């Protein structure tokens, strides 16, 4: 009985470790950073949150949370680009992969299971669309598109 139990335990462990995937999913997200900081209690890692955008407007969902993989040492240039993107308010596209299973069970690689592989700056003036008109720098809190019907506006003014 002891032998059967230990064989079952070994089989479960092998199945568990073999089902762990490094690239469980891959994808891209577009948006602007709302948080980017190095943090951690035992293992420090770069963590971020990004408001996702769709056709120039912020989506109303939860922010995308991501990490930079502590197991990689070639990410300094990507970290610098994202840090500057947060400071300057740039719109960026991040390419990421997600891990599954025991690949990050102790959060030693990062706080999330979504790890950044590449960063592309899409718009350096995303947070300052009125700078060319006013000559002053502004700050975007959220992006809203407004359509004004001149005929309707004139009707209300002449009442």
pLDDT tens column, 127-154? 555 555 555 555 555 555 555 666 766 6
| 63 DSSP 8-state letter | P
CATH number at residue 112: 2.40.50.110
What is the C-alpha separation between 129 and 14, in angstroms, rounded?
55
pLDDT of residue 78: 94
The larger pLDDT score, comparing residue 156 to residue 144, is at: 156
Token output for 78: 């990507």
Give the chain's domain count: 1
Which residue range is the domain that position 71 belongs to? 22-125
State pLDDT tens for residues 40-60: 888 889 999 999 886 555 666
Binned at pLDDT 50, 70 and 90, residue 28 comes out as very high
pLDDT of residue 76: 92
Does some domain include residue 2?
Answer: no
Token output for 114: 């979504």
Token output for 43: 């293992």
Closest by CA to 71, choosing from 22, 13, 21, 26, is 22
């Amino acid at each position: 009985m002891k032998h059967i139990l230990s064989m079952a335990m070994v089989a479960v462990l092998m199945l568990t470790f073999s089902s762990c995937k490094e690239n469980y999913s891959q994808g891209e997200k577009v948006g602007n950073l709302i948080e980017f900081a190095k943090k951690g209690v035992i293992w420090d890692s770069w963590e971020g949150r990004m408001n996702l955008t769709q056709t120039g407007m912020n989506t109303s969902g939860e922010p995308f949370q991501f990490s930079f993989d502590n197991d990689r040492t070639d990410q300094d240039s990507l970290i610098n680009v994202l840090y500057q993107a947060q400071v300057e308010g740039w719109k960026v596209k991040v390419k990421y992969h997600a891990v599954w299973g025991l690949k990050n069970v102790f959060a030693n690689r990062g706080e999330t299971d979504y790890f950044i592989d590449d960063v592309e700056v899409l718009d350096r003036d995303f947070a300052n669309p009125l700078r060319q008109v006013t000559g002053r720098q502004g700050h975007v809190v959220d992006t809203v598109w407004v359509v004004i019907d001149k005929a309707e506006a004139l009707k209300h003014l002449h009442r």
